[in-house]
Structure 1
Amino acid sequence: MPGELVREWEEVPARFGVSARYAKWAGTPAPPPTGPGPAVLFERVTPSGADGAAARAVLIGLYGTRRRAAALLGTTPAELPPRLLDAVAAPVAPVRVQGDRAPVRTLLAPDLTALPVPVLTDEDAGPYLTLGAVLATDPDTGVRNLSIHRMCVQGPDLLSLWMVPGRDLEGAHQAARRRGVPLPVAIHLGLGPAVLLSSCCPASLVPPGVDELAVAGALGGAPVELTSCRTVEAECIANAEYVIEGELLPDLVPENPQGPCATPEFLGYQGRAHPALPTIRVTGITAREGAILQTVSGPGHEQSVLLGFGMEAAVLGRLRQLGASVKAVHCHTAGGGQLMVVLQWRAKRSDADDEAVRKAAESVLEEFRMAKLVVSVDEDVDPESDADLWWAMATRLQADRDVAVLPDREGFPLDPTQSPAYSPSLSADGRTAKAHFDCTVPHALRARFHRPHFTEPRT
């Protein structure tokens, strides 16, 4: 659609150039002035680490709005979460392609410094792969896992990798360590929307044992095609723009030996570097002709959009299991697509529905660790409209009766308020008070809250 893509032909450096120019379009939680904007294709980005390396293309912001992200799959933001639920329920297994059926890929030297990997700020530990989807197979279970992780370039052939504890990749890594062998991995930069969205789904939606690639096949309407890596015994996604092949090692390195910062996080704050992270030794890089390196800016709409749709599907599925009369779920980008959940409820049929809405909303706060704030609204409120949400908050809520606080629950430590240093009522870092804002109209008073309906004139 017109205005959805901007092409930048001027040569820019990977160090600060991409992030500084894209900042005006990144959207909250990037610092102002900013707002959601187009996808931006930088045609000529010079790598920051290798002298004389050729400029290459970098794409950022493809998923920078919810509408555009859903449109890439031929649907709308409201329709995408139910489609994800359907895909999880009826997965389509990937297929292997070899020989003439496999896309042509060029084997490059295992030199990360020759790629235009962006450095976002002058506090960053280095260039970061922010949208690298890691594919690995658990050596104990044989189950594949595709997931996105923060990876910092530590040298020409070395990456540090941060895995959120409890993720499937961590389990596969531990299984390989018990065997005394490295874990072969394929890191993908530049994937189709069905694969990328499936890789961002939480475990509550795609539990261990379910192949994310099979979910992607169902979501995209065709099996994902796999082929063999060239330098390690692993599979890779055949149509990826770049594939970085390597081995996940037991060796640990500091994420940033020079300082406390890592790279900006999706909640809008500068990330803290980890003192010791596992490493990936790169053995080879393959690329399609004219390959485009895809990335995201840590704080901004794009990463929140990618995380939000999977969270919405998981919450919607759980509330449906409970028999709740929920109509739609929207995970707001201001909460990184995780912390702030808007629930749109179908019209209440009795006074009993007042309490049913509150109990169901509080169950979301209890069952989903990342959910910190839940806002409940009626059918006549558009959950995608910030103006409508604030209107409902202002005119359909009394704080003394409509705000429920759940103290000292398990949360997410990247939110800097989730610490006893901020609130002494919290028992540890990563604990948080949660809240439900019930902006639904009491059933008995529904006549007082009638919104006008404007009728088109008859011709």
Structure 2
Amino acid sequence: MAGRAPTDLRHALACLDPLPGELVRVTEELPARYGVSAHYARWAGAPAAPPTGPGPAVLFDRVRPDHGPTRAVLMGLYGTRRRAAGLLGCTPAELPHRLLAAVRSPHPPVPAADPAGWPRETLPLDLTALPVPVLTDEDAGPYLTLGAVLATDPETGVRNLSVHRMCVQGPDTLTIWMVPGRDLELAYRAALRRGAPLPVAIHLGLGPAVLLSSCCPTALVPPSIDELAVAGALAGQPVELLRCRTVDAEFIAHAEYVIEGELLADTAPESRHGTVATPEFLGYQGRAHPSLPLVRVTAITARERPILQAVSGPGHEQSVLLGFGMEAAVLDLLERRGTPARAVHCHTAGGGQLMVVLQWPAKRGPQDDATVRAAAEAVLTEFRMAKLVLCVDEDVDVESDQDLWWAMATRFQADLDMVVLSDREGFALDPSQHTGYSRALSADGRTAKAVFDCTVPYAQRARFRRPRFTEVTAPAPRRPAAPLPR
């Protein structure tokens, strides 16, 4: 998968197709309601409930909605860190550095040079005819789990591309959950102040560089930076845009599906029949919001034989997508502090956000013992969602759970090497961050945070040497000896 990053989703799948075990095609017809998610669960990976594990990208060729024709659905394209990074021609350790470089040297998007090269058909204005998965029988309805919303802030003129949870409420309506204070919500509030809806283009099925850029945190991509410009730098070529047909907005030319619409002042309950929304990325069933803004859909367009891309909420894939941007943001923080880490790994067990592994270069003196801990505490303070930081030395493989647990078992004493920060701002989707769980918390959504320092103290370094095995070149095969003369 080396070379230039795939421009679109189809190019990405073509890169995987010849690689053994990377792409599975399911040709049997499956229902969008429960069928796709149940079939994919064996590969979803933690934090999905066992038995499960990271696996291939899975292309379901014939997924049947409640009504309408069967269409293709893709899940698991980013189901492993190695595959996600490989689609951009790098390793998992290299990708956060690539993201950081793209943020620092963005390539702005451009109008499509040849609009006719991106032909699209107009589909019936009916979301319920699309193969949008319903993950469990408790879900509020079909959810766009990987819908990337493109909108322009009417006050700043800056675009924002971000992925949001959207529930199909009817043929032409969606509810949308926006994190308060993030870029799309700010643009929405700006539009409301002007007394107008916010035009949006919702994309399903995008190229790897665009989708990964859309998942970056604000700490890495502030509101003044266009995520599409980051994607252009990451892909090595600018993202091409076209004008929407029914609203004053742009859309990404290579998208498989585009849902045009307006983000309204009107609201509706996320679920009309219970308290459950859909499974969350931390592995628990999500709670429905009593009131969310509505999107009124004005058009649905698609490429020929479109592929609808989705994720399983409590699965490895969503954590992978969130983790790389978080890693780049942590790298940036540590560089600005003058304490650069050798590597940062946001573990998928923490949803790519809550559990951060910091790998440090060799300590140069006893002062580095304190430096490591201070830097780890800075990460917990700067990033609201970071809950646990595990510090390891350069001889520990941050991608190996075995190596991480080995470091914890042999380089950690709980009464010396753990730092606890009490009652800090956290993330309410973690059910332990609740006053009913801990009386020490002043409010729901607050948490205790911890540093696990599994680095070797500088003065003790000689006692912790791992054995190294010498590479030996195998001898060339010997020729049979010539027979002795008689």
Q: Structure 2 length normalisation: TM-score?
A: 0.93
Aligned AA (2:153): D
Could you tell me which of 290, 296, 313 is aligned with 1:298?
A: 313
Aligned AA (2:38): A
- Pair 1:24 & 2:59 matched: no
**Alignment correspondent of 2:171:** 156
Superposition pairs for residues 52-451 of structure 1, below 5 Å? 53-97=68-112, 100-451=115-466
Give the Cα separation in 2 of the matches to 1:220 and 1:28. Answer: 29
Please say if residues 102 and 227 of structure 1, whose CA atoms lie closer than 8 Å, have aligned partners that are also in contact: no
Give the Cα separation in 1 of the matches to 2:129 and 2:117. Answer: 25
- Identity over aligned pairs, percent: 75
Aligned AA (2:227): E
Give the Cα separation in 2 of the matches to 1:98 and 1:447. Answer: 61
RMSD over aligned CA atoms reads 0.8
Give the Cα separation in 2 of the matches to 1:249 and 1:441. Answer: 55
Q: Match of 1:10, SS? A: coil
Gaps of 5+ in 1: none
- Change in Cα spacing, 1:279 to 1:100, as seen in structure 2 (3 Å) is closer
Aligned AA (2:221): V
Deviations 1:186-233 (A, max 9, x none): 000000000000000000000011000000000000000000111111
Structure 1 runs (4+) greater than 3 angstroms displaced: 98-102
CA apart distance, 1:325 = 3.9
CA apart distance, 1:177 = 0.7
- Change in Cα spacing, 1:146 to 1:358, as seen in structure 2 (3 Å) is same
CA apart distance, 1:42 = 0.2
Q: Match of 1:134, SS? A: strand
Q: Match of 2:443, SS? A: coil
**Alignment correspondent of 2:65:** 47
Please say if residues 331 and 341 of structure 2, whose CA atoms lie closer than 8 Å, have aligned partners that are also in contact: yes
Q: Match of 2:324, SS? A: helix
CA apart distance, 1:457 = 1.7
Please say if residues 132 and 142 of structure 2, whose CA atoms lie closer than 8 Å, have aligned partners that are also in contact: yes
Give the Cα separation in 2 of the matches to 1:380 and 1:100. Answer: 51
Give the Cα separation in 1 of the matches to 2:64 and 2:226. Answer: 36
Give the Cα separation in 2 of the matches to 1:354 and 1:318. Answer: 19
- Pair 1:5 & 2:23 matched: yes
Give the Cα separation in 1 of the matches to 2:470 and 2:243. Answer: 60
- Change in Cα spacing, 1:8 to 1:199, as seen in structure 2 (3 Å) is same
Please say if residues 241 and 293 of structure 1, whose CA atoms lie closer than 8 Å, have aligned partners that are also in contact: yes
Q: Match of 2:342, SS? A: strand
Q: Match of 1:289, SS? A: coil
- Change in Cα spacing, 1:173 to 1:403, as seen in structure 2 (3 Å) is same
CA apart distance, 1:393 = 0.2
Q: Which moved more, 1:163-172 or 1:99-108?
A: 99-108
Give the Cα separation in 2 of the matches to 1:105 and 1:454. Answer: 58
Aligned AA (1:396): R
Please say if residues 102 and 238 of structure 1, whose CA atoms lie closer than 8 Å, have aligned partners that are also in contact: no
Size of the alignment, in residue pairs? 456
Aligned AA (2:327): E
Give the Cα separation in 2 of the matches to 1:101 and 1:435. Answer: 55
Deviations 1:11-38 (A, max 9, x none): 0000000000000100000000000000
CA apart distance, 1:98 = 6.2
Give the Cα separation in 2 of the matches to 1:97 and 1:66. Answer: 31
Aligned AA (1:19): S
Aligned AA (2:35): G
Task: Name which one, 1 or 2, has greater alpha-carbon Rg.
Answer: 2
Give the Cα separation in 2 of the matches to 1:76 and 1:457. Answer: 27
Give the Cα separation in 1 of the matches to 2:346 and 2:439. Answer: 28
